[in-house]
A and B are shown apart, each in its own frame.
Chain A
């Protein structure tokens, strides 16, 4: 595929024109982009293969999308005629709805499929399903799957664009991009920040993608949690590791708490929930050790009173609601960048 042209205002206006009366205004701002901003990318599978310039390009495009979201009629039909299918093999509300709204705001046709374990048992393989969806006209497949790497299988074998909406413990790139967007929006930069990710790193796709994203844009990352919830052995990232949250928080600009699954205790990884809360729960007292304007983040859904206390989750430093809102803008940006030439 040739390198797509940098989107311009004219581009977007043109796409937005056709349908006659009542057509909402196009995007008010064209995303500024460096030449190398989006080098022919067809899929968004993880952030490990994103350059800093590509990430910046997505964030700049998301700025334009956020303008659309501020309008009374949140509609910029740049993807009219493009079919987006969300294919979820795992239960999800917020991510699926976020993608669906993002696609609809851009005028795409959206179909949501929740594939249950039973359809797998019936012998319809992931590739069968994906090929069928492609044959039915899917241009962009948004995939959530319980097993790491599943979106790579589809991206390699099926001729449509793939966005990974979470695969096993592996990656959740759109979550990481919305985290970066939110931090940059609040603090004005990513480079030089100290980011602490606390909790169940081992099983977290949110953490893995966030690590790549923050590192690529020049932040320093500390992973914090009990040894049983951190990956064993050598790590693939240049990060700090700490078992002591109080110490890790000193001087932090961003604190991201991860959801703790209760089955970790049954699996013998934790002695008790109470002990976890005592050591790793994000309380107001603990947060006071971070920088005064440090941001508190959480990918949701939260276990209030476990990894994060309500007064912190809903406190002045929390940007958790912004994360959700920005998620729509970031997903609009990705759908737009992948889909503008797809129809």
Chain B
């Protein structure tokens, strides 16, 4: 592997407070030096990062595998390539289908991930068979190398969530709760509000998430367990997290990038200008402008720790149908940074807060050795131009999943290069 010298970028690492224009030398898979005007070496790769940001590689806490690789499904290779193109160097993966990752799937993923350009880490399932009735073998999963426990479906039983939080405390891995009241959300297709009423779509009230988050927080307090809340979408839920953290409950939270920028209005006027575009069907649903503003404020404040892609690859047929029958989720790995840079460009978020939410924020939630840029650390890096404007064209995604509510939108922020362990795994326009 040739050494790499990254020249003239603004080196930004919220974890260490580093923010300076400097060169970065990568050798032997690690960061060898950070200093202005490093000397050239023989046989080195040079990346001209002038005008760009050099940051720790991004860490994604919430990425779904596809439902299988046959036919037009997302493959691990296409998912990893999409992650690299999006600046992600570490991606925590949930199973693509309901049962989630059992021990066999976890081990298989670890074997296959060894050959992939980015680090794919498994999230083990929380209940046996993913059916929400009994705990999965959490200890065994922890030994197999999972970074957290989660089911693909919301957990109905409060008793089981209590036991999961209690049991996992001895394993040092958080329980990820898709916090929503399943009964209130059942059958819902969009945020319950004026847009859903106009379109005649059954609503999912914000209270469904508020109840789920409230229940999970109460149980985290009761058990002392480590709770991580998946993809918040409602302002009411953010308030509960803020209060819980102030009270010392061990709870962390994430938000999917889409929910920071987009609102229910997108459901009324999808990417093509038509209502009911299945690309706008997400779980949780896109909510109001006030919700998006509350999520942005919580992120800036640190009440929300991480921004996640919530990449959820679906086959084309699963999105070429009636809104009610369409599978929820979007292809998101390649647009997550641009959503954040769009918010930075409009002044809604600081650049440092945005980078923290993709690096040290998520890394600390799952206790991962990632998200830092310092001499001696693994050279997982990203170089991006925060000001580059580009128009989202899903047909150019590396991901085989091409459904996104952002199609056709012009956003700021483009990844130019991604390095994993010192190897350049993505390079475009630099």
Contacts and interface: CB of A to CB of B under 8 A. Distances in A.
Interface string A224-263: 0000000111111000000000000000000000000000
Interface stretch (A11-19, A145-153, A327-335): A145-153
A148 B267 CA distance: 12
B375 interface: no
A208 B193 CA distance: 15
A235 B196 CA distance: 9
B324 A148 contact: yes
Contacts of B211: none
A156 B198 CA distance: 19
B203 A125 contact: no
A147 B322 CA distance: 7
Given A152-B275, A156-B272, A235-B194, A208 B203 contact: no
Given A126-B322, A148-B323, A232-B192, A153 B197 contact: no
Contact of A168 (B200, B203, B274, B317): B200
B392 interface: no
Interface residues of A, number: 26
In which size bucket is the chain B interface? 20 to 34
Interface string B189-207: 1001111011111110100
B192 A153 contact: no
Interface in A153-204: 153, 156-157, 167-171
Contacts of B203: 232-233
B320 A149 contact: no
Nearest to B198: A236
B276 interface: yes
A156 B274 CA distance: 8
A316 interface: no
A9 interface: no
A343 interface: no
B202 A153 contact: no
A205 interface: yes
Contact of B199 (A127, A145, A148, A232): A148
B133 interface: no
B191 to A, nearest CB: 9
Contact of A234 (B193, B324, B325): B193
A232 B194 CA distance: 9
Interface in B273-329: 274-276, 317, 320-325
A295 to B, nearest CB: 25
A127 B320 contact: yes
A208 to B, nearest CB: 6
A90 interface: no
Contact of B200 (A126, A148, A153, A235): A148
A233 B199 contact: no
B195 A232 contact: no
Nearest to B206: A233
B200 A205 contact: yes
Contacts of A168: 200-201, 324
B316 to A, nearest CB: 11
B194 A125 contact: no
A153 B194 contact: no
A322 interface: no
Interface in A90-140: 125-127
B321 A126 contact: yes
Contact of A208 (B200, B202, B205, B272): B200
Contacts of A149: 199-201, 275-276, 322-324
Interface centre among A148, A167, A169, A236 (most CB of B within 10 A): A148
Given A148-B199, A171-B200, A234 B276 contact: no
Contacts of B275: 149, 152
B109 to A, nearest CB: 30
A236 B195 contact: yes
A232 B200 CA distance: 12
A205 B197 CA distance: 10
Interface of A: 48, 125-127, 145, 147-150, 152-153, 156-157, 167-171, 205, 208, 231-236
30 contacts: A125-B317, A125-B320, A126-B322, A127-B321, A145-B322, A147-B325, A148-B199, A148-B200, A148-B324, A149-B200, A149-B275, A149-B322, A150-B322, A156-B274, A157-B320, A168-B200, A169-B200, A169-B201, A170-B199, A170-B200, A170-B201, A205-B200, A232-B192, A233-B193, A233-B197, A233-B203, A234-B197, A235-B194, A236-B194, A236-B195
Given A127-B321, A148-B199, A170-B201, 12 more contacts: A148-B189, A149-B275, A153-B323, A157-B320, A170-B200, A171-B200, A205-B200, A208-B198, A233-B193, A233-B197, A234-B197, A235-B194
